[in-house]
């Protein structure tokens, strides 16, 4: 690895694709068999996706998963080029799933230009996933300000200091921006919410509950919203 233009790191390797080093197994050889006695039937489901998610989320918390509210958020630009990243869920209710971000970040810009997203909760130690697809709408400003006020002060400073998703010269430049913001608000009892920062709600059109099964015959049950607003449950082939 070598440094090229300022702010960019050039990575070179003579290793061929698919090669492994030391005791690292090849990806093709990695496989875990799922439990035969686990399953998810239509009779197991709650009456609505929100109640079912509430039950599975409680299970994930009780299981002791690290950051069970971590989810992969997928967005796309107007040309359909996708991007994904892990974000923390900060709220959910029958209206959808809420997270907060810098609106000038890649996901923020894409959420404005192409307001649709997917969410994946990868609860693999439990042999479960939840997959969501839906539209994106901003939350009320009062919700954003209330949540921002609850964040640790360091995270508040970071929200002002970081030009999220933009290229920066180096780590030192980012830390200098952080110090400047910290100094600016050193005597303030409260740090205001940045105008470029806020909450987004994914309003689901579908919510799939995935349970691993033996032989890769996984159970996939999906709540899907119809045009009239009603919801149906569908079983998907694994």
Question: Which positions are catalytic?
Answer: 216
Report the C-alpha gap between 172 and 97 in whole angstroms.
35
How far apart are the C-alpha atoms of 121 and 219, rounded to whole Å?
16
Picking from 108, 116, 132, 118, the residue whose alpha carbon sits closest to that of residue 57 is 132
Distance in angstroms (rounded) separating the CA atoms of residues 150 and 42? 39
C-alpha 29/C-alpha 2 separation (Å) is 32
Instruction: Give the SS3 label for residue 116.
Output: strand
Compute the distance between CA of residue 140 and CA of residue 91 in angstroms, rounded to an integer.
13
Count how many Cα atoms sit within 13 Å of the Cα of residue 123 in the half-sphere of its side chain: 25
């Amino acid at each position: 690895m070598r440094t090229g233009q300022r702010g960019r790191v050039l990575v070179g390797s003579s290793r061929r694709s698919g090669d492994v080093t030391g005791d690292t197994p090849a990806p093709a050889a990695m496989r875990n068999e799922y439990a035969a006695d686990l399953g998810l039937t239509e009779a197991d489901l709650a009456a609505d996706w929100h109640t079912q998610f509430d039950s599975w989320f409680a299970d994930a918390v009780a299981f002791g998963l690290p950051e069970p509210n971590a989810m992969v958020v997928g967005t796309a630009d107007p040309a359909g080029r996708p991007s994904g990243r892990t974000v923390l869920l900060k709220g959910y209710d029958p209206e959808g799933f809420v997270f907060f971000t810098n609106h000038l970040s890649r996901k923020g810009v894409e959420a404005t230009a192409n307001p649709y997203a997917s969410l994946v909760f990868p609860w693999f130690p439990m042999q479960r996933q939840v997959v969501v697809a839906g539209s994106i709408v901003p939350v009320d400003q009062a919700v954003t300000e209330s949540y921002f006020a609850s964040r640790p002060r360091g995270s508040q400073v970071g929200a002002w200091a970081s030009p999220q998703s933009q290229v920066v010269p180096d780590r030192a430049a980012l830390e200098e921006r952080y110090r400047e913001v910290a100094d600016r608000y050193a005597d303030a009892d409260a740090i205001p919410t940045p105008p470029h920062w806020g909450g987004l709600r994914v309003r689901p059109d579908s919510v799939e509950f995935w349970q691993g099964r033996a032989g890769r015959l996984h159970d996939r049950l999906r709540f899907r919203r119809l045009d009239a607003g009603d919801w149906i449950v569908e079983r998907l082939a694994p």
